[in-house]
Structure 1
Amino acid sequence: MFIVIACMCSGILVGFLTKGKPFKYTQPILTFLIWALLFLLGISVGSNQRVMNSLTSIGLEALLITVMATLGSCLAAKALLMYLNRKKK
């Protein structure tokens, strides 16, 4: 846990120290890292025999919660984006 907090704090420090300098590679690096994390999570779930065996018993409720949480996040992000774009105009 200490390593995670140290990495986050070091990132905050680097961001603070370089806030005036443009870094055009931030977005592609973040996108790649997010896709890599999702891929590795998929490998972890797919290789866990206990999780794979219990997928049928998880049922409709888990699927519904997942879909609704994703939909809610997308709608909230869209609303925030519209709000921020309205403020710029």
Structure 2
Amino acid sequence: MFVVIGLMFTGIALGYLFRKRLILRRFSNLMGWTVYLLLFSLGISVGNNREIICNLPALGGQALWLAFAGTLGSVWGAWIVYRNFFKNKS
């Protein structure tokens, strides 16, 4: 876990130091395709796992509930911040 976090912060530091270089701007396109490839590989892995496929209705329901609750909480929090800090008090 510490290795992953360390690599992430190393990448952040290097990205910050070399942010004005043209080659790093071209990296964003490559990184996007790499993320797509990783998601595709994850989908293949999930599709091959019989236990996950059998439990997909239950897992899907939990995921739907978590997504709904997270969105509702974010909207509620944004509304409170807007009301307390950005709304004109006239």
Partner of 2:34: 33
Q: Structure 2 vs 1, CA of residues 62 and 8 (structure 1 numbering), >3 Å: closer, same or farther? A: same
Offset of residue 5 of structure 1: 0.8
RMSD: 2.7
Q: 3-state SS of the aligned residue for 1:20?
A: coil
Partner of 1:8: 8
Superposition map of 1:46-61 within 5 A: 46-56=47-57, 58=58, 61=61
CA distances 1:28-87 after superposition (whole Å, capped 9, x unpaired): 11211110121111022111111111224x287347448758xx6xxxxxxxxxxxxxxx
Partner of 1:77: none
- 1:18 and 2:32 matched: no
Structure 1 gaps of 5+ residues are 73-89
Query: Match for 1:61: what amino acid?
Result: G
Give the Cα–Cα distance (whole angstroms) in 2 for the partners of residues 60 and 4 of structure 1.
28
Offset of residue 26 of structure 1: 2.0
Give the Cα–Cα distance (whole angstroms) in 1 for the partners of residues 11 and 41 of structure 2.
22
Offset of residue 7 of structure 1: 1.1
* Structure 2 length-normalised TM: 0.58
Structure 2 gaps of 5+ residues are 72-90
Q: Structure 2 vs 1, CA of residues 8 and 59 (structure 1 numbering), >3 Å: closer, same or farther? A: closer
Q: How many correspondences in the alignment?
A: 70
Give the Cα–Cα distance (whole angstroms) in 1 for the partners of residues 19 and 10 of structure 2.
14
Partner of 2:84: none
Give the Cα–Cα distance (whole angstroms) in 1 for the partners of residues 2 and 44 of structure 2.
26
